[in-house]
Structure 1
């Protein structure tokens, strides 16, 4: 059986286990096992919510026998107060969270798919949040790209001081993240399931032009100055960069290189 089919089958089996166990009201598949099944592939995993009856949350978080009934677990980790990360013995990885219905009423979350529900449970609309997800995109270039510029400067100063890890994060992490937050304003976005939690997800499919040069901006721990210069060049192409700050960034990068 293909991995994609196995994932969907496993989720169905979890639903049957919940039905046998009692105390659960619904199982929602999320992401690629939810409403975005077109992107399901061999590298996907299980991501799901469980809606439970009042007072039943801890039972499904602290005791995992309802999962062991489906397939033995090789690993489990309670990563939040409401859920776990798990690995089945056969290599299927998953993450889940458990909620009582009232907890989702005023929450924003990505739309899910009802995989299973108790016969008496009628609120299938809970699969879609009544609140919009907060946007992780910016609607103006000014703040994010100036933030990126200052990240380059601060990062190079730290690199020159010997703080190479911090410098790597400022230049190849924070600065690039700022660019990603406005990439939809700089390049036409191709269809590729944007993720409401991370602008980096499926970047290569959504923004192929930027993806083709992204490697030059993220050259690694020992090439922070080189990465900074590539990021600066890109910023200068898409935004009226402050000339004096640009000169200082180049001066720093050149000095470190020498």
Structure 2
């Protein structure tokens, strides 16, 4: 296995050149039809940097999908592989020997009609392949947010359940409820109110699958509160108190009964 080089050698130019090399390897393989770049190597190349992955679909001729999934010689032809594993029925994650990371799926053209995906950019396409397949037939999940009542109710219930588990000694589960699930709701609350959206640029679009992506550029005001909201495994009660305070600063309507229970659990001597 080739030794990994320093990551400092990875640049956007290298990543795009590598993508072209993968496209060339697919073209030379004989039964591939196209390479569709996605995300930061698709239509969002303004986000591409030295820490980007190569996300793509390899489109292959009917009857040949299994060959491209089971044998990655076509990918290694673009650059030697250091490690890979099949993470879905359709594709792999793979680390190239110089640190370039690929996440890809292999499809036959007819399958794309049943798959939701973000519009991409053709890196290479056989004339036999419909160029319109760069855009999905099925829409991506919408980024529509729940209403505020639901968000605040879920946040309070996560604090309560998490602190109950803390008192029971289930500290990992407690941390995930308070510093994870409840925080997710606060992210949603701020997004719902369009807080900090004036700072959100085209380089920081919301990810419908993972709202925390690019949060630092999209919601910088909330980011300033994160050290108190997620202080770590041993500090869940403090995180719960910080979450209550954050909700109150935003003027969220907190039911006094469950608020009192959360406060009691967070300040109980057993939490020390």
**Band the TM-score falls in, shorter-chain normalisation:** over 0.9
Deviation at 1:138, TM superposition (A): 1.5
Native 8 Å contact 2:151 2:185 kept in 1: yes
Counterpart in the other structure of 1:151? 158
CA distance in 2, matches of 1:117, 1:146: 49
- The residue matched to 2:83 in structure 1 has which SS? strand
CA distance in 1, matches of 2:35, 2:189: 35
Counterpart in the other structure of 2:240? 228
Native 8 Å contact 2:196 2:220 kept in 1: no
Structure 2 runs not aligned, ≥5 long = 1-8
- Normalising by the residue count of structure 1, what TM-score does the alignment of the two structures yield? 0.95
Native 8 Å contact 2:174 2:236 kept in 1: yes
CA distance in 2, matches of 1:183, 1:125: 36
Aligned: 1:202 with 2:210: no
Deviation at 1:137, TM superposition (A): 3.9
Native 8 Å contact 1:144 1:181 kept in 2: yes
Deviation at 1:79, TM superposition (A): 0.6
Q: Trace 1:131-146 onto structure 2 (pairs within 5 A).
A: 131-146=138-153
Counterpart in the other structure of 1:240? 253
Counterpart in the other structure of 1:23? 31
Worse overlay, 105-114 or 80-89: 105-114
Native 8 Å contact 1:110 1:196 kept in 2: no
Deviation at 1:240, TM superposition (A): 0.5
Q: Could you report, residue by residue, the CA deviation over 1:100-122 in whole angstroms, capped at 9, with x for unpaired residues? A: 1121113211111111011332x
CA distance in 1, matches of 2:65, 2:185: 38
Deviation at 1:132, TM superposition (A): 2.1
Deviation at 1:133, TM superposition (A): 1.3
Counterpart in the other structure of 2:127? 119
Deviation at 1:136, TM superposition (A): 4.3
CA distance in 1, matches of 2:264, 2:205: 40
Q: Could you report, residue by residue, the CA deviation over 1:29-71 in whole angstroms, capped at 9, with x for unpaired residues? A: 1111111111111111111011111111111110011111111
Q: Could you report, residue by residue, the CA deviation over 1:169-206 in whole angstroms, capped at 9, with x for unpaired residues? A: 11011111122234322314212122122100000100
Deviation at 1:257, TM superposition (A): 4.2
Native 8 Å contact 1:32 1:44 kept in 2: yes
RMSD: 1.4
- The residue matched to 1:81 in structure 2 has which SS? coil
Structure 1 runs not aligned, ≥5 long = none
Counterpart in the other structure of 1:69? 77
Distance 1:206 1:46, change over 3 A: same
Q: Could you report, residue by residue, the CA deviation over 1:84-105 in whole angstroms, capped at 9, with x for unpaired residues? A: 0001111111110011112111
Counterpart in the other structure of 1:41? 49
Aligned: 1:97 with 2:105: yes
- Normalising by the residue count of structure 2, what TM-score does the alignment of the two structures yield? 0.90
Worse overlay, 220-229 or 172-181: 172-181
Deviation at 1:134, TM superposition (A): 1.4
